[in-house]
Structure 1
Amino acid sequence: MQRANILLALTQDGAATTIAAYLLASLFFKWVISWGGAQILAASKMAAWLCDFWGQADNPEQIRLCALILWILASVWALLWLLYLILKS
């Protein structure tokens, strides 16, 4: 019975939206960290919005570090939000 309640909680209150948004964000961070996105962002000077609060992102290593930190924060936020949705129901 408890398992059914947890599954019901995950299908209501935007949990599916949270999971979908987290998966899309994870795909973006994976692209930046592993698939060469950091070089593209560094070359086109488009990483300012990603790392603006830590200073200038001049090289791909800084961009990868910013993406990794933001990915960790997004993971913690998503897990806490899903835990809240489960406990709320």
Structure 2
Amino acid sequence: MELDAKKVERISKALGDPYRLKIMEMAKCQAENNWLKCSCVMDNIELAQSTISHHINQLVDADLLLTEKDGRNVRYRVNKDVLDAYIKFLGVLSS
């Protein structure tokens, strides 16, 4: 997978916030079938639910998180294909 400049910019902006980085770490480390529940984020980050939703939506919009409906709830996991493509792009910059 190759990323165009617009996609790289969107991902970079999404990862440019410390709370979003923490959410990504949580999603990567989540043990329950690699899915992260919003309630888990709320338990570990002291922000209003609406603010957490905003941060998660930024990550979803950048395709860094995949979503799955779980009844009335939504759960998330890292989109490894997009993250790997982004890391590959950054690696090209450093060589």
TM-score normalized by the length of structure 1: 0.30
Report the structure, 1 or 2, having the larger helix content: 1
**Which structure is richer in relative contact order (CA contacts within 8 A, separation 6 or more)?**
1
Larger radius of gyration: 1
Report the structure, 1 or 2, having the larger strand content: 2
